[in-house]
Structure 1
Amino acid sequence: MTLPRVQILALGGTIATAPDASGAMQMGLGADDLVAAVPLLATLADIRAETVSRVGSHSLSFDQIHALAAKIMDLDVDGVVVTQGTDTLEETSFLLDLLVERDIPVIVTAAMRNPALTSPDGPGNLLAAVRVACDPWMKAHAKALGVVAVMLDEVYAAADVQKVHPTRFNAFASPQTGPLAALVEDRLVPLSLPVRAPVEAARKRLGKASEGREQPVALLWLGLDEPGYILEAMIDHRDQLGYRGVVLGAMGGGHVPERVASLVGQLGEIIPTVVAPRAGGGPLLRQTYGGPSSEIALRKAGLLWGGRLNPLKARVLLETCLRAGLDRAAIAEVFETFG
């Protein structure tokens, strides 16, 4: 029997750490080490392993993920598994989903418990990811599913997965949709299919975004009684700061404190500014509340609406749009597809 060819691309992260002399966990393990820790992989697939980097995911860059996407597009394999840290997995997986269009499974996985702890989850997550990559249902629906994350025997859509706890073992979830599938024994049990139209529409507009230059995007979280000093600085010193776009983590269904509403409007006039729900995702309101800081007023002022994307994912999408050279109107159209 010919086994499916699965490429493992290791980026680093907790899954690839080892203790130094002091006991502190340091980056160091490569793809071959990860594969060697899971002998069962050899019974599932023809494994090819490559170490792409050895860094924590908190230090990954947009450029690195664009390069990774290009590599995945060129691979002649039946499935791809990316291992990395959990800190930015919800962002990197979504960016890969925007950039990679393949009819093979592309899976991102990681670990919450480092290899020095009792019952580390890295080997199990890697085994689960390869099982998912080899599953007939996954292969048949790979294009419809897009890039997925596999953690603790559950499969999540890249556009929806979130890290919902900084340290807990079961730190990942898709609060809006739930998992797409679950591994039970040696079976993958399908549960749902994701809404793919927004990502597919975005891909058509983004074109060759990987050929563009880095476009720094600021992420500002708005809270109770925000005075707006950072907003003022961004308006007055835009060129010196160097940001090309802004994402605002807004309150409720798309609201900002009234005392900063005029500043938000000014910022939206000079730089593409996206409003996204700080609540963690879910469609924003469009035409319910009145007043200068409401969703109606902000939309009339030219603020871009993030739809169901949380601020982290909205920032990924905005940076990709800017890198692709899209103007404000085109960026608005891309975000509109996300609800």
Structure 2
Amino acid sequence: MSVAVFALGGTISVSGRAKGERLTGAEITSAVPGLDESGVLLDVRDAHAVPSGSLTFAQILEVVRDASRAVAEGAAGIVVTQGTDTLEETAFVVDLVWPHDAPFLRPRALRPPAWAGAEAPPYVLPAFRVAGSRGVGGRGAVVPFNDEVHAARWVRKSHSTSTATFVSPNAGPVGHVVEGRVRVLAAPRRRGLRPAAFDAERLDAARVALHCVTLDDDGSQLTGLAETHQGLVVAGFGVGHVPARLSPLLGALAECIPVVLTSRTGSGPVLRHTYHQPGSETDLQERGLINGGLLDPYKARVLLRLLLAAGADRDEVAAAFAEHG
């Protein structure tokens, strides 16, 4: 069995030797205890050695294309190492466009390898075990850590420093690693979007804003937004509410560009028809906003940008969120 490894930057690659010096993919994998005895053949490649906060949609889609070629050449699974800052978003990008049954793994680390208690080596080994497991085939992108396996659609970073930061509040883990073996407990249906063939110019032009609604929000940041952006995600209060005075402004924007309503809470759904006062979910939907369902604001922005880059119109955007959200 062979696994293709794509090493990006991030904490897992911080060498501790010289300022700015990064570990290569070969150095990262060579430090994983037990990997050389696992029987896994590695094809290690270095790509985009930058902090994850500096990654772009285009770079992630490039890795997906290279990973697709690796699968065509015989790789049984893909492991991509990167920093954790944007992992919940990049994993969802991959999940939406990954066209193969071969698993696509995104292990993580929050402590540099040179630190005491660095957790990268013991967490990378389970990733290779998951990558070689038939049980996770067809699941799209998954994030293994703490002997758990989480689906990219649900996983979130919930704490800035804790090594237990990644959780899936709406669904929980889909599997566990027990005594070196992967046990899949849930089999969520894949909700792939389309192959990762996005025109670079369309992707760059698909600008999507994210507005987090706050107490006494006057909406001034939204003025003129339809002239500079092609889409908007609104992170509303609770079940999808905003101050009443924002409703007309958001409705006017929804007449020009797709506007998706999500919850800033990070878990739970946006409701559809429970509340009816100005600024409620019902009011906003009647004004043309698209219900984001269970998707958090960050994942909703990922989906909306890919849809716009693919040329989707408002009806197609609404249909996609009805399916994915």
* TM-score, L = length of structure 1: 0.90
Equivalent residues, number: 319
Q: Could you list the runs of 4 or more consecutive aligned residues of structure 1 that deviate by over 3 angstroms after TM superposition?
A: 206-212
Residues 157 and 27 of structure 1, relative CA distance in 2, 3 Å threshold: farther
| Aligned residue type for 2:288 | G
Q: In structure 1, which of residues 330, 333, 337 is the aligned counterpart of residue 316 of structure 2?
A: 330
Deviation at 1:106, TM superposition (A): 1.0
Q: For residue 209 of structure 1, what is the amino acid of its counterpart?
A: F
- 2:157: which partner in 1? 163
> Residue 39 of structure 1: CA displacement?
4.6
- C-alpha separation in 1, matches of 2:176 and 2:276: 44
- Which structure 1 residue ranges, 5 or more long, are not aligned? none
What's the CA shift string for 1:132-152, capped at 9, x where partnerless?
1122423xxx11x11101122
Query: 1:207 offset after TM fit, Å?
Result: 7.6
Q: For 2:96, which of 73, 95, 98 is the aligned residue? A: 98
Q: Tell me, yes or no, if the aligned pair for 1:67 and 1:210 is still in contact at 8 Å.
A: no
Tell me the alpha carbon deviations over residues 82-135 of structure 1, each in whole angstroms, 9 at most, x when there is no partner: 000000000000000111111211111110111121121111111110011122
Matched, 1:83 2:77: no
Q: 2:198 aligns with which of 209, 215, 218?
A: 209
Letter in 2 for 1:304: I
1:220 aligns with 211
- Which AA in structure 1 matches 2:89? E
Contact 2:13 2:28 in 1 (8 A): yes
Q: Please tell me the residue identity of whatever aligns with 2:256.
A: I
CA RMSD of aligned residues (A): 1.7
Greater mean deviation of Cα atoms: 37-46 or 79-88: 37-46
**Deviation for aligned residue 1:166:** 0.8
Structure 1 window deviating more from structure 2 (27-36 vs 95-104): it is 27-36
> Which letter maps to 2:174?
L
Q: Please say if residues 207 and 324 of structure 1, whose CA atoms lie closer than 8 Å, have aligned partners that are also in contact.
A: no
Residue pair 1:276, 1:305 contacting (<8 A) in 2 also = yes
Structure 2: which amino acid aligns with 1:288? Answer: T
In structure 1, what is the Cα distance between the partners aligned to 2:317 and 2:165? Answer: 32
Instruction: Point out where structure 2 has 5 or more consecutive residues left out of the alignment.
Output: none
Alignment-mate amino acid for residue 299 of structure 1: Q
In the alignment, does 2:16 pair up with 1:19?
A: yes
Instruction: Quote the residue 2:274 is aligned against.
Output: 288
C-alpha spacing 1:27/1:330, structure 2 compared with 1 (3 Å): farther
Work out whether 1:69 is the aligned partner of 2:64. yes
> Equivalents in 1 of 2:185, 2:10: separation in Å?
29
Q: 1:132 pairs with 130, 144, 147, which one?
A: 130
* Alignment-mate amino acid for residue 180 of structure 2: D
The correspondence for 1:306, drawn from 292, 298, 313, is 292
Give the Å deviation of 1:324. 0.2
Q: Distance in 2 between matches of 1:148 and 1:90?
A: 10
Task: Call closer, same or farther: CA 1:120–1:210 in 2, change over 3 Å.
Answer: farther
Deviation at 1:191, TM superposition (A): 2.0
Contact 1:13 1:27 in 2 (8 A): no
- Identity across the alignment (%): 39
Amino acid at match of 1:116: A
Residues 52 and 82 of structure 2 are in contact (CA less than 8 Å); yes or no, is this contact kept in structure 1? yes
TM-score by length of 2: 0.93
Asked whether 1:60 is paired with 2:58, we answer: no
1:229 pairs with 2:224: no
Residue 257 of structure 2 corresponds to: 271
CA contact (8 A) 1:209 1:321 kept: no
Q: Structure 2 CA distance, aligned partners of 1:312 and 1:333?
A: 19
The 1-side partners of 2:265 and 2:189 are apart by 21
The residue type paired with residue 213 of structure 1 is L
